[in-house]
Structure 1
Amino acid sequence: MMAGLTLADFVARNAGFAPHKVALRCDGAALTYAGFSARIESLARALSRRFQLGRGDRIAHLGLNSPELLVLLYACARLGAMLVPMNWRLAVPELAFMIGDAEPKLLAIESRFLGHLQALRAAAPAMGVIGLDDEAAGGVSIEALLAEAPRQPLLTEASFADPLLLVYTSGTTGRPKGALLTQEALHWNAVASAHMHGLSAADHVLTVLPMFHVGGLNIQTTPALQMGATVTLHPRFAPGAMLAAIATERPSLTVLVPATLQAILEHKDFADTDLSSLRAVTTGSIIVPEALVEALAERGVRLIQVYGATETGPVSVYERFDLPRDRRDTTGLPGLSVEMRILDDAGHELGAGLPGEIALRGPGLFSGYWRNEEATQAAFRDNWFLSGDIGMVDADGYLYVRDRKKNVIISGGENIYPAEIERVILEFPGVSECAVIGVPDPRWQETPVALIVPRQGAVLALDRLEAHLAANLARFKLPRRILLRDTLPRNAMGKVQHFALKAELSEVPATG
């Protein structure tokens, strides 16, 4: 632990080394490291004087990606306060639950979301309001705050030990939980990211994923700012705008999930866009179709995988950009500061080739769930974080993620991993997305059912699809039913809600 330092000091040090270097670009505007550091310090002083924001206080953010979000983050680091980045895709009652749970002293909000303000204020009546792009109703604009910042130096006892992020999990099965990440956790996350990507001050990161999620915020964005690199922000993902930015701004690194990567590959401008500036594209998902890896490789771009969760920072297990990809479907090795074990249900460590729950520990992991000691205790066993994911390692320690533990189908005494079946289905031409769930069966306990969304304009030949599955899967893994759908239910983070599909189909009898 670094006593007396905060993450804001890294930005200040980078400003000292290269004051005129661009730290952030967004919507055609640029902010140098000197300007970025000055705004952080001014905002911290203003928040301290006007709102008495200090150690342990929370400030929620509701808005698209912007430099202001990052200024707020590092101002919180300077004060020892916590930023609560809120998912603007959520319904108002979901946002109100988070506000009521976190009880932030302040809400920083974009004008486009002011229609939510009355309901959010009802959840935390004492909460003040800051307008990110204008004066919010009954509040003050962030620019007015910066203008009134006092000149006196800020005296604070903030440190690396202070929680900095309160990030709510996606809540695929119930109420979301607020995971606490300290400044130290973000520092070690940045160290791991630098090791993974070869990240340096010479890099240019393009951030298009939402920063209310640790994937958009912490895989490359905050690590780049710790290293003194340049970050270009897009308010939200748009494939055409991203391809134009790659062509004109020449970033070296970016992060995409498989769905956004697929949108890039299918865009009309993809074939003609010069991708040569990209050293790597990073992705993270239980399922990364091999077709995506190959499509980028054909254009000379390496796709590297990272495994993690909100609770792990998220960078914990990863591939290195500069090492040969000689293992298919692996997520890589544990990072510099992470230990990993594969455990059985009794907590015993399993050897190579045996599937079990992935357990992790290290200084980059979360410190617990906000005001939820029961959930915190359930998440750890002997100081190891239980991920809820099933995986196995090979003889060299490389991790292969199989599926979420709660999604495993038990059929005739055999464990079936839906993600394995989904991976094979996604290899079939004309499939856009799919989900496999287990439904009750009087003979086998459960049997797999596949729900498939065809690509637009595609007509799936189900007999050929069934033959493809039979050629690539053991007989007991074959779906007993294949259902075509227009869409799949997803939560606000884009994750398929398997529990909703399971509830919908639990009364459907298995056939065959």
Structure 2
Amino acid sequence: MRRWIEGHAAHTPDAAALTFGGERITYAALQARIAATAAALAARGIGRGDRVAFLGTNHPSQLVLLFACARLGAVQVPLNWRLAAPELRFILEDSGAALLAATRTMAEAARAALPPGCALLDAEGEWPAAPLAPAAGQEEDPVLLVYTSGTTGTPKGAVLDQRAVLYNALNARHGFALSPADRVLTLLPLFHVGGLNIQTTPALLTGAEVVLLPRFEPALFFQAVAEHRPTLTLLVPAVMQALVSHPGWAAADLSSLRAIGAGSSEVPLPLIEIFHARGIPVQQVYGATETGPIAILQTREAALQAPGCLGLPALHGEARVVDPDGRELPPGGAGEIQLRGPHVARGYWQAPEATAASFREGWFASGDVGRRDAEGRFWFTDRLKHVIISGGENIYPAEVECVLRTAPGVREGAVCGRPDPRWGEVPVAVVVPGPGFEAAAVLRHFEGRLARFKQPRAVVTVEALPRTALGKVQMAALREVARG
């Protein structure tokens, strides 16, 4: 990966690599920052295989740190800045991070989460020029350790090596027809592989420009489009809905956008049609943290021909639909989507059982149900897992239930998603009340223990949880209860 920026710095040193706020960073300047950061990390003893965490809203320093880690053969651990201190500490401890680089607005949160043995670093600090650190990183070295909440209730880290990030970028370059003339607007968080790897790192591989927003706000989006005239951007359904509902939507000049990428959850067809009516094709992207994430995607032409489908397997990858026994199904048959290719993670960090359960004979089992049509296109049907997708964020009920079990006045409870017009879904706690139960107290119990987006928005009481004959909670019935 180090060669990406080095190559562009040599061939097109004055081309814009990153624009952030009022700052324009050329490829030559970006390479200088990467070299200085790598030297500073090496001086602190960071080398091949060491983990370096990052905490902050979108900032150039995260990308600088990523490529510095790639040079050293070290591993970046992006942290979700929305998480509570105990959640951040778990990831830092589980990953064994030696350093936590935090932006200045996140310094207080970083100090609150910092475990013993992990040093704190100012991510926005400027490092003086120093002798270039040796290029130890190889394509087989892990470079990203990205945590995704697990069905067991604790997050697990997907290990992506430099080769996986490269092939993911090649998949994106093909699917979005990226060229050095492109200008990509990145507003989704870089702590997700979606915001980081669907368009941002592929743009840097290609030699294009990335316009980076700290976070999403509709007004900032419209301002950035007017000022920078991006050719591509990546959205999720909740963001798309926020944009079309904003007073600035009708008058905004969006003509510079060749297309938008969309994913993380099923994109409603009416929402796609609104963008298509503005002449902006919505290219769906399907995958997971464990797949880089690009595994299935639409080209611009396919987005116009078959709105709502996931597309075809990525150029450097394979996809199939299988029955419960692992047999590939013919077109039209609904089954689990499985994915394979050089863009797929090598497994989960220090979790052999979880790795064996999800990575089977070279295939990653997505846990999603889909079908393939006669033209080979994939369509999303349902989820095998009980994940709640709220505003593009994955929320796993088991993780929320771990906290719910300790709430006052709760005999037992379960968590599921409830449809929400703004977020797609929101978590709801369904509980059997006991002595001293108070719904407001149960909701307060989550404060400081889980990120706000994971906290239940409501508590619904029942006399008994709906269960199967084997005692498992019936999720379909639970969702009906949660709907009220």
Q: What is the TM-score when the length of structure 1 is the normalising length? A: 0.77
Per-residue CA deviation, residues 354-381 of structure 1 (Å, 9 max, x unaligned), is: 1111111100000110111111111122
What's the counterpart of residue 425 of structure 1?
none
Residue 54 and residue 265 in structure 1: after superposition, are their counterparts in 2 closer, same or farther (change >3 A)?
Answer: same
CA distance in 2, matches of 1:222, 1:502: 46
Rounded Cα–Cα distance in structure 2 between residues aligned with 1:74 and 1:387: 29
> Judging changes above 3 Å, is the alpha-carbon distance between structure 1 residues 380 and 493 closer, same or farther for their aligned structure 2 residues?
farther
SS of the residue 1:358 aligns to = strand
Aligned to 2:76: 83
The amino acid of 2:336's aligned partner reads: E
Distance, in Å, in 1 between the alignment partners of 2:455 and 2:178 is: 32
Q: How much identity, in percent, do the aligned residues show?
A: 45
Partner of 1:63 in structure 2? Answer: 56
Aligned CA distance change for structure 1 residues 85 and 454 (closer, same or farther; 3 Å):
closer
CA distance in 1, matches of 2:452, 2:262: 15
What are the superposed Cα offsets for residues 64-98 of structure 1, whole Å, 9 maximum, x if unpaired? Answer: 10111100000000000000000000111111100
Q: 1:215 aligns with which of 175, 181, 194?
A: 194
**Partner residue of 1:440?**
none
**Hey, what does 1:115 align to over in structure 2?**
108
Number of the residue aligned with 1:8: 2
Q: Structure 1's 103 and 324: CA in aligned 2 closer, same or farther, altered over 3 A?
A: closer
The Cα RMSD (Å) is 3.1
Structure-1 residue corresponding to 2:211:
232
Question: CA 1:173 to 1:494, structure 2 compared with 1: closer, same or farther past 3 Å?
Answer: farther
Q: What CA distance in whole angstroms lies between the structure 1 residues aligned with 2:464 and 2:301?
A: 45
Task: Rate the CA distance shift 1:317–1:455 in 2: closer, same or farther, 3 A.
Answer: closer
Q: Deviations over 1:294-342 (max 9, x none)?
A: 1111111111100000000001100001346333431000011111121
Q: How does 1:469-488 map to 2 (within 5 A)?
A: none
Aligned residue among 64, 77, 97 for 2:90: 97
Contact 1:286-1:402 within 8 A present in 2 as well: no
Which of the numbers 35, 48, 57 marks the counterpart of 1:41?
A: 35
Structure 1 unaligned residues grouped into runs of 5+: 1-6, 134-141, 409-417, 423-434, 438-448, 457-486
Out of 352, 357, 362, the residue aligned to residue 341 of structure 2 is 362
- Partner secondary structure for residue 42 of structure 1: helix
Among 137, 145, 150, the residue aligned to 2:130: 150
The answer as to whether partners of 1:16 and 1:34 remain within 8 angstroms in 2 is yes
Match of 1:280 in 2: 259
Match of 1:432 in 2: none
Matched, 1:335 2:314: yes
Residues 150 and 91 of structure 1: is their aligned pair in 2 closer, same or farther, counting only changes over 3 Å? same
Q: Contact 2:302–2:311 at 8 Å: present in 1 too?
A: no
Counterparts in 2 of 1:298 and 1:502: CA distance versus 1, 3 Å: farther
For 1:253, the aligned partner's letter is L
* Structure 1 residue 108: Cα displacement: 0.3
Q: How does 1:159-238 map to 2 (within 5 A)?
A: 159-171=138-150, 174-238=153-217
Q: CA 1:180–1:505 in 2, change beyond 3 Å: closer, same or farther?
A: farther
Hey, what's the Cα distance between the residues in 2 that align with 1:150 and 1:455?
49
How many residues align structurally?
425
**Contact 2:282–2:303 under 8 Å retained in 1:** no
- Residues 1:506 and 2:481 are matched in the alignment: no
Counterpart selection for 1:132 from 106, 123, 143: 123
**Runs of 4+ residues deviating >6 angstroms:** 495-498, 500-505, 508-511
2:144 counterpart SS class? strand
Report the equivalent of 1:386: 365
- Which whole-Å CA distance do the structure 1 matches of 2:288 and 2:456 have between them? 17
Q: Distance in 2 between matches of 1:85 and 1:120?
A: 14
Which is further off, 212-221 or 501-510? Answer: 501-510
CA distance in 2, matches of 1:381, 1:129: 38
The alpha-carbon deviation at position 453 of structure 1 amounts to: 3.9
Match of 2:24 in 1: 30
Unpaired runs of at least 5, structure 2: 398-415, 424-442, 467-476
Take 2:275 and 2:455, find their aligned partners in 1: how far apart are those partners? 25
| Larger Rg, first or second structure (1 or 2) | 1
2: CA distance between counterparts of 1:188 and 1:452? 35
> Displacement, 1:154?
2.4
Letter in 2 for 1:66: H
SS in 2 for 1:357: strand
Equivalent residue, structure 1, for 2:288: 309
Matches within 5 A, 1:401-416: 401-407=380-386
Letter in 2 for 1:46: A
- Give the TM-score normalised by structure 2: 0.81
Distance in 2 of aligned mates of 1:504 and 1:132: 51
CA contact (8 A) 2:55 2:101 kept: yes
* Residue 258 of structure 1: aligned partner: 237
For 2:140 and 2:311, the matched residues in 1 are separated by: 29
Q: Which residue of 1 aligns with 2:408?
A: none
Shift of 1:346: 1.4
Q: 1:251 to 1:502 in 2, by over 3 A?
A: farther
Counterpart CA distance in 2 for 1:502 and 1:406 is 24
Q: Measure the CA separation in 2 of the matches of 1:406 and 1:318.
A: 21
**1:327-476 alignment runs, 5 A limit:** 327-407=306-386, 451-453=418-420
